[in-house]
Structure 1
Amino acid sequence: MLESRTRLVAAAYLVLRRGDEVLLQLRQGTGYRDGHWALLAGHVERDESVLDAAVREAAEEAGVTVTVEDLEPLTTVHRFEVDGPPIEQRVDFFFAAHTWSGEPGVREPHRTADMRWFSLDELPEPVVPHELEVLRALATGKVPAVLAIRMDDPEEHY
């Protein structure tokens, strides 16, 4: 009998907010969605909370200091495949921060070609698809507590 349980891989995402603008970085050299604009994000490491991961990624990728108290929970995204391999699925924790210290800038040039502020109403193309769904919801002011997205059919949302 095949194992029916899945392994969830957790990641933390940070939406730095400056009024109606968000900070995005252009991915390069990562092997995943290179050439796409993306939020500050990364996998949760061993012995680390999702909150700590969001704080760490802000420092590593943009050189800014965000505290756990600065983090505002936005949504959780569950990414999965129907009839896909049951071994691994994704759970993404999205946070926003309106305050931080330091000036955001590219800190990992081997992974980031550019970093800029964009209005939620004028996002660049392309944006990593599941991140785009969260940003679109944020623009409307109607961000669901949980969003499930099929990786094999990104237009299918729950």
Structure 2
Amino acid sequence: MRRSILNFCRFLLYPKHRVDETCLKRRFKGQWVVITGASRGIGSALARRLMRAGANLYLIARSEAELQALCDEAQAMGCKAVCRALDLRDRSALKSLCHDLKQLPTVDYLFCNAGKSICRKLADATDRLHDFDRTIDLNYRSV
């Protein structure tokens, strides 16, 4: 039983099927892709993979410096890239973002990657309700 669980976990983490670059280029070349949480981690890795495929990127994150560096990298590779530094929990900023997204020719793909988790012991949290509200606002309401 334990061995089958380990094999299943390996299958999930390391699938044998890999998406090759040709397939990615066929699907994403020239397409407009919006990625939230694009400045770090999975969002940054996704943006880099899609820029190699020739996608046009609209990148959203709070960290302006990291976001701008990623945009510059995409433009150096010949992709169209727009970056927008904002906090997705800010409702007025979201309205402005929606207006800006309407200016794009199209939005072909949307990756809602921005998210937050509380990475400390519950006993160490000084304002638990505030932490909970921030997490819910970003992970659920901003989408």
- Do they superpose with TM above 0.5? no
Query: With structure 2 as the length reference, what TM-score do the two structures score?
Result: 0.29
Query: With structure 1 as the length reference, what TM-score do the two structures score?
Result: 0.27
Q: Which has the higher contact order (CA 8 A, sep 6+)?
A: 1
- Normalized per residue, the structure richer in helix is 2
